[in-house]
Structure 1
Amino acid sequence: MNKSYSRLTVRYNHNQVLVWLCVLSFFSVLNEMVLNVSLPDIADYFGKPPAIANWVNTAFMLTFSVGTAVYGKLSDQLGLKKLLLFGIIMNCFGSIIGFAGHSFFPILITARLIQGIGAAAFPALVMVVVARYIPKENRGRAFGLIGSIVAMGEGVGPAIGGFIAHYINWSYLLLIPTVTMITVPFLIKLLEKEERVEGRFDIAGMVLMSAGIVCFMMFTTSYKVFLLIISVVLLLLFIRHIRKAADPFVDPALGKNASFMIGVLCGGLIFGTVAGFISMVPYMMKDVHHLSTAAIGSGILFPGTISVIIFGYIGGLLVDRKGSLYVLTIGAAFLSISFLIAACFIEATPWLMTTILVFVFGGLSFTKTVISTIVSSSLKQKEAGAGMSLLNFTSFLAEGMGIAIVGGLLSISLLDRKLLPINFDGSTYLYSNMLVLFAAIVVMSWLVILNVYKRSQKNG
């Protein structure tokens, strides 16, 4: 009787942990997606160009990407429970600051930086919690459930964001992460106290890398050359530092693995390009077709984001049956062809963009599946943890950079001219040329990955 009761209690605790992890996963993704559709409204509210307004998302992605690497390295030293609770509190703290001070742009950006610091704990630690607290025979189901919840958050984010921004106000979107506070008492009760593991944390490496990235992102906003020079100097100092550090923030040995680095860099280019495109869609739909924020969120973005669930499943099946490079080619074709069709028919019905976005998100889903597969296959067993952590960090960072770079290009006249033999009105040339540029980046990245991995297969 006691043994049976004990087993039921343990199973009940495991299920409770999983429920609250799903809540955290859902709202962490939602926090990333909901404000994207409101970027034009935020730009109009503050009277800022896209290069500045896009920092509402770029600031979040900056600390979010760096944070995922930091939390992963600190999890053994400080314990999952403390870090997870710290992340929740910081995320909610940033939300309240952002909502209270949303009328002041510097406060809004500061709040998004704080939100990113907090939200980074969720993807970095949730999977580790599953590995430690969920029984081995149930982990597959747990990972699958969390993956589905994340996909659902990505799907409904634009619809929720568009509805609230249009019918209430975009500032209320900042309060959504505060819902995660309901998980705190349960996680305190359910997660065990862990023993600390002694170790060093490379603070100098983190600071050098973060400062270099910030300067580069600021360069993409203002195009002031001195910021680019500072960025390059800081990143060179970072590379020099990690070669000498006892426990470096990034393992320099990974840089010697050519296949791994090509996969990470080219994958980052594709992810950043798609993130930049998605951030451009609301501006494009408002400028070219004069759609409302609600219509953009629910009618244009929602079908594409929700299709990720289906394409993710199909992509996994195709990788197993046809191979990674086959699926990568399909994903790259979806992306590049979709961008080119949008570039040529941008002034056609806005609902064409709905269909295009379904294939863009499908191509992104295929590409993410493949990049993870081929990058992991290029790593030795002892490099797997550090390598996959670097891939996740690079992917999140590339998305933030993509949003910043696209915002900068939308704010200058570099591409605002007729380049294609098609007659458009007004600012349509700018968006059309950007779409052609996106297609070129995807095709170039695909060709490089294809060449490198075919060569490595022959040599292997």
Structure 2
Amino acid sequence: MAQENTAAVQSDDVDAATNAMAIRALIPLLITFILGTLCLQGFNLVFEQVGSDVGASAGQASLITALPGIVLGIVCFIYGSLGDFVSLKKLVVVGLVTLLVGSLFGFIANFFFSSNLWTVIIARVLQTAGEQVAGSAYLVVATKYLRNSLKVVFFGLFTAGYQLSASIGVFAAGWLSTIHWQYLFLIPSVTILFLPMLLKNLPDQNGSGDKVDGWGFAIFGVATAFLTLFFSYSNWWLLGVAFVLFVVFGIYINKAGNPFVTPDFFKNTRWIMAISLIAVFYFVNYCISPIFNAIARDVYGMETSTVSNYLVWAFVVAAIVGTSSGAIIGKIGRQTALITAGCLMLIGFVGSALAVNAGFLTLTLMACVFYAGTGLMYSPVVSTVLDTLPKEESGRGVGMNDLIMNVTASIGISVIGGMMSTAGNASGSLIGATGAAAGYSNLLLICGGVILLGLIVFLVFRKRIYSDSQA
């Protein structure tokens, strides 16, 4: 009986040659993604200084991160979805060339010529659009061409790479800002050297080869852009336009002859239940760092540069746990790992709320607990979602995952960020704190409540989510 089960699993698995090809492609894709993310995090840290240097106002300077962020949310979905239709080689060539052009343009235009806000923004948009190809291609290759036993390992390496690049990006930006921030543009340019290796190891054909649904991608992409802009600028007409475009998209996929995603895709109840986990768990994913920065400023009188020296260790913990997540899941199973990750995130938020006056070192330890949870969460939740879809739809699944993660996290930071502006005036808290500490403690408890909701959703739906799973 055991032999029959083994044979059944192997028949659904990839062969050794395909698995080896995937591994050789995944390593350079991961390095490309890390360097691109490092550049992204670096500019997020120093955008105010960059804006000042190019003569932009404080409000205009935020566009250096806002506009590339909107592009990121759109291309995450489009690139992942295109993996079901066109060659990954073509996508990667376009991505790496776009990344190189953005890097060289940003450095040359702003170092050798007069710096300008829009040359910075255009360069960052090109870099963001280019580097995300590596991230999306990585997830598509890991989903379609890796042995089942290795998928969680490489999903773990992906989130570890993200966390590691985030921590390095903070230090790189701080150091380069004292010399010339323009050198930040050049960091991901070396990834063009990976192109020959990727062309050799990526599959020649991927997906159905059907004609790409340009109208469908355009409508959905523009609708997503307006939705993201709404949560960045809180203008209700932006939300209205997004709503109308999503309605048009719904009508379009019901009427079009060969849309890139059919209505049946959204009727997959297992997928809807699973994707709701990402929507809830990642809603407050970006919140702990800005809340801690505000606590350090208003409660402890600390500078941001000092705060980063503490919080960087939380990113290091996330990277270590993310790297180990495959082995952890192999020992305790995917469902237990997901619950454990959620509990760690919950403890991090609630523990921080209780320890808001206990010293910043204690808060840092709680941040480490939270980021250990985020490092462990990515692999089981992403593999759970993708497991609800047939392999031929895995590219669209990757795209939807990235889209939901980016959009819900952006919504979350907008909501919590709005609350932070009035947190210092709180009259009291559940833990008995007063003043600014009370408001921030309440915010941390709210974030913990969101994570608790995610755990409840998972426990309620998990039997249905895993009902047809082979994992």
Report what 1:3 is aligned to. none
* Offset at residue 263 of structure 1 (A): 1.8
Matches for 1:46-445 after TM superposition, within 5 Å: 48=58, 56-75=64-83, 79-98=87-106, 100=109, 105=117, 107-126=119-138, 148=157, 151-152=160-161, 154-165=163-174, 167-168=178-179, 172-184=183-195, 186-187=196-197, 190=200, 194=204, 198-278=209-289, 280-282=291-293, 284-286=295-297, 288-297=299-308, 299-312=309-322, 315-380=325-390, 383-410=393-420, 413=422, 417-421=426-430, 422-425=432-435, 428=437, 431-445=440-454
- Paired AA for residue 452 in structure 1: F
After superposition, residues 36-55 of structure 1 pair within 5 angstroms as: 36-38=44-46, 48=58
SS at match of 1:210: helix
User: Which region of structure 1 is more displaced relative to structure 2, 104-113 or 354-363?
Assistant: 104-113
Residue-by-residue CA offset, 1:350-402 (whole Å, 9 max, x unaligned): 22332122111111123223312432443456655543442243224434444
**In the superposition, relative to structure 1, how do residues 204 and 437 fare at CA in structure 2: closer, same or farther (>3 Å)?**
farther
After superposition, give the CA deviation of every residue in 1:411-441 in whole Å (9 maximum; x if it has no partner). Answer: x548853351544455x55543432221121
Cα distance in 2 between the residues matched to 1:271 and 1:406? 13
Q: Give the CA deviation at 1:121.
A: 0.8
Q: How many residues align?
A: 440
Q: More deviation in 239-248 or 375-384?
A: 375-384
Secondary structure of 1:378 counterpart: coil
- 1:261 deviates by 0.9
Amino acid at match of 1:200: K
Q: Deviations over 1:236-294 (max 9, x none)?
A: 22222222233334343132222321221231232231124345544554555454554
Partners of 1:458 and 1:146 in 2: CA distance = 22
CA distance in 1, matches of 2:203, 2:265: 34
Alpha-carbon shift at residue 338 of structure 1 (Å): 1.4
Q: Hey, what's the Cα distance between the residues in 2 that align with 1:279 and 1:300?
A: 13
1:336–1:442: 8 Å Cα contact kept in structure 2? yes
| Cα distance in structure 2, aligned partners of 1:271 and 1:207 | 26
Q: Quote the Cα distance in structure 2 between the aligned partners of 1:53 and 1:229.
A: 26
1:229 maps to a residue whose letter is G
CA contact (8 A) 1:62 1:116 kept: no
**Structure 2 CA distance for aligned equivalents of residues 26 and 214 of structure 1:** 25
Work out the CA distance in 1 between the residues paired with 2:263 and 2:202. Answer: 34
Cα separation, 2, equivalents of 1:188 and 1:334? 37
> Which has the larger displacement, 304-313 or 334-343?
304-313
Q: Are 2:22 and 2:142, in contact at CA under 8 Å, matched by a contact in 1? A: no
Secondary structure of 1:199's partner? coil
Go from structure 1 to structure 2 and tell me whether the alpha carbon gap of 1:214 and 1:429 turns closer, same or farther (over 3 Å shift): farther
Q: Percent of pairs identical after alignment?
A: 20
Unaligned 5+ segments in structure 2 are: 1-19
Paired amino acid for 2:231: T
Q: Give the letter for the 1:205 counterpart.
A: G
- CA displacement 1:304-356 (0-9 Å, x = unmatched): 22222432355444544544443333222221221123234334432233212
- 2:74·2:225 contact (CA, 8 Å) conserved in 1? no
Residues 1:448 and 2:457 aligned together:
yes
Contact 2:39–2:169, Cα closer than 8 Å, also in 1: no
Report the CA distance between 1:22 and its aligned residue. Answer: 4.6
Q: Structure 1 residues 435, 101: closer, same or farther in 2, change over 3 A? A: farther
Q: Which moved more, 1:446-455 or 1:162-171?
A: 162-171
- Give 2:364's aligned amino acid: T
Q: TM-score, normalised by structure 2?
A: 0.76
Q: Which amino acid aligns with 2:37?
A: V
Distance (whole Å) between structure 1 residues aligned to residue 27 and residue 397 of structure 2: 29
Q: Is the contact made by 1:159 and 1:294 (CA closer than 8 Å) also made in structure 2?
A: no
TM-score by length of 1: 0.77
- Helix, strand or coil at the partner of 2:252: helix
CA distance in 1, matches of 2:220, 2:399: 16
CA shift in 2, pair 1:341/1:83, >3 Å: same
| Whole-angstrom distance in 2 between the partners of 1:432 and 1:268 | 23
Q: Which moved more, 1:360-369 or 1:275-284?
A: 275-284
2:12 alignment partner in structure 1: none
Deviates more, 1:310-319 or 1:337-346: 310-319
CA distance in 2: counterparts of 1:118 and 1:37, whole angstroms: 21
Q: Distance in 1 between matches of 2:466 and 2:139?
A: 31
Partner of 1:8: none
AA aligned opposite 1:123: G
The verdict on how the C-alpha distance between 1:376 and 1:56 changes in structure 2, with shifts beyond 3 A counting, is same
